[in-house]
Structure 1
Amino acid sequence: MNKYELIVQDLKTDIAIGTYPAYSRLPSVAQLCEQYEVSKITINKALEVLEQQGLIFRRKGSGTFVKKLEEGTQIKPSKEVSGQMEGFMAEHAARGERVKSKVYTFEVERPSEYIAKALDISTEDFVYRIVRVRLVEGTAQVIEYTYMPISLVPNLKMAHLEHSIYNYIESEIGLKIANAHRVIRAVMPTEVEASRLEISTGDPLLEVEQIGYIDDGRAFEYSISRHAHGYEFMTISMH
């Protein structure tokens, strides 16, 4: 996938979840260049695609604005986003790879203001806090820090964490996982992360910060996943 296509995908998600509501102004081209660390040509190409799809309009001298969609119109996630929402275990199982999870933390706590805002809940509500490492064919690939509202994902057990939480949410609770808003960046591991992933503290990780949504728009997950061993997810860093 080209860089401009990734930006289109990201901005479409922002529009779909209301980060940029109807008639709101998008960041300037210069701001988007800085945000996505790409050239003006790339940003303009992404904006052209969104304009062709009828999602935005431009006003000379004023900026770029989000169009008000006709009633009943939905912005559907791209095939790539839908596929990525299958979950880590399903993704690798489809390739015939064995996946195991090593759980380090499974607690119930009240969320910080940042996490509460991401999940659109109160700081007085309760969330699960989960820390686990996912192993593929015995090799530690990713460390995940996950927060889920208990009100939306009740009765979560250790057995679910050791296998697939997404499968539990869809098959047992009956919720439909729809899409996600992601921010991708490169980070360096902490000593603890390096130890758990069996890498050096000098080896960079690909961090994926994600808010996952079910089909009615409610957030069911806030997570930070840090991927090692040359994991490929996107080709640009987003801040």
Structure 2
Amino acid sequence: MAEAAPKYELIANDLRQKILEKAYETNEQLPQEAALCKAYNASRITIRKAMDILVNEGLIYKRRGSGSYVKDITENQTAGQTRSLEVVEGNDITTEIIDFAVIASPEVVTEKLKISSFDFVYDIRRVRKKAGVPVAVEQSYMPIQTVQGMRLDVLSQSIYTYMENELGLIPQSTHRLIRAVYAGKKAGKLLDVDEKHPVLEIEQTVYLNDGRPFEYSLIRLKSEEYELQNIVVV
């Protein structure tokens, strides 16, 4: 006889279904912990375990001192825990830094990173090269209050490795939208292709394991350098 699932899993399953069925809308706040305890006749520890499952699946995010909110899952993604990886990686990948600045957060970045319009972000522009040949142009934004102490030497390597090893921040999941576009003048010049050359544009928001968004980026990538592998949990 199969053992019954733990109560926190049952609660997570019920909340997940409600989120996917749009009972809770994007960016809507979920009921407070006390209300969930009463609704499910469960302890605070049980509710927290259930919410942690949804955070790790990329369905909700938490705001300190405020509560839990539904993430934007309209980008045709599957609910499931995924490890966030950089689009271009490998031993033969090198990075050229085009620009690095601290700026006031643009409106779209403010929305994607769930920060205040008065907050500042890193504006990072890089060219990724494979065996010396440019394959991708990246523009990334990160909130300076989350990813502190960014340095030029970090930008030429793996930002995520720096975050894990020096800041104790763990990238967890990526919400990614991929579309086919022309390279355009700026990206075409950096990629050494014609401005009408077809490339893939990847728009993505990356989240930490506590549900906080910490990076919003736009990447233009030579299509022959990108392979998509997708695992769907049903």
Normalised to the residue count of structure 1, the TM-score between the two structures is 0.64
CA contact 1:206–1:231 (8 Å) conserved in 2 = no
CA contact 1:103–1:131 (8 Å) conserved in 2 = yes
Q: 1:92 aligns with which of 77, 90, 95?
A: 90
Q: 1:163 to 1:215 in 2, by over 3 A?
A: same
Q: Which runs of 5+ in 1 are unaligned?
A: 1-14, 27-67
Equivalent residues in 2 for 1:34-113, closer than 5 Å: 71=47, 72-73=49-50, 74-75=53-54, 76=57, 82-83=82-83, 85-88=84-87, 91-93=89-91, 98-113=92-107
Report the AA paired with residue 190 of structure 1. G
Shift of 1:148: 0.2
Report the AA paired with residue 115 of structure 2. I
CA distance in 2 between counterparts of 1:197 and 1:19 reads 41
Q: 1:21 to 1:211 in 2, by over 3 A?
A: farther
Q: 2:116 aligns with which of 122, 130, 134?
A: 122
The alignment status of 1:150 with 2:144, answered yes or no, reads: yes
Equivalent residues in 2 for 1:1-239, closer than 5 Å: 23-24=23-24, 71=47, 72-73=49-50, 74-75=53-54, 76=57, 82-83=82-83, 85-88=84-87, 91-93=89-91, 98-234=92-228
Q: 1:221 to 1:143 in 2, by over 3 A?
A: same
Report the AA paired with residue 123 of structure 1. S
CA distance in 1 between counterparts of 2:175 and 2:136 reads 19
Aligned residue number for residue 6 of structure 2: none
Deviations 1:93-114 (A, max 9, x none): 3xxxx11111111000011111
CA distance in 2 between counterparts of 1:20 and 1:213 reads 19
Aligned pair count?
A: 173
Shift of 1:231: 2.6
Deviations 1:197-236 (A, max 9, x none): 0111121111110110001111110001111151334499
CA distance in 1 between counterparts of 2:214 and 2:227 reads 22
> In structure 2, the residue corresponding to 1:170 is in which secondary structure?
helix
Q: 1:123 to 1:21 in 2, by over 3 A?
A: farther
> In structure 1, the residue corresponding to 2:141 is in which secondary structure?
strand
CA contact 2:19–2:25 (8 Å) conserved in 1 = no
> In structure 1, the residue corresponding to 2:190 is in which secondary structure?
helix
CA contact 1:107–1:130 (8 Å) conserved in 2 = yes
Shift of 1:24: 3.8
Report the AA paired with residue 114 of structure 1. V
CA distance in 2 between counterparts of 1:25 and 1:156 reads 35
CA distance in 2 between counterparts of 1:22 and 1:229 reads 34
Q: Which runs of 5+ in 2 are unaligned?
A: 1-14, 27-39, 41-45, 59-77
Q: 1:116 to 1:21 in 2, by over 3 A?
A: farther
Moved over 6 A (4+): 77-81
CA contact 1:104–1:132 (8 Å) conserved in 2 = yes
Identical pairs, percent: 30
> In structure 1, the residue corresponding to 2:136 is in which secondary structure?
strand
Report the AA paired with residue 92 of structure 1. G
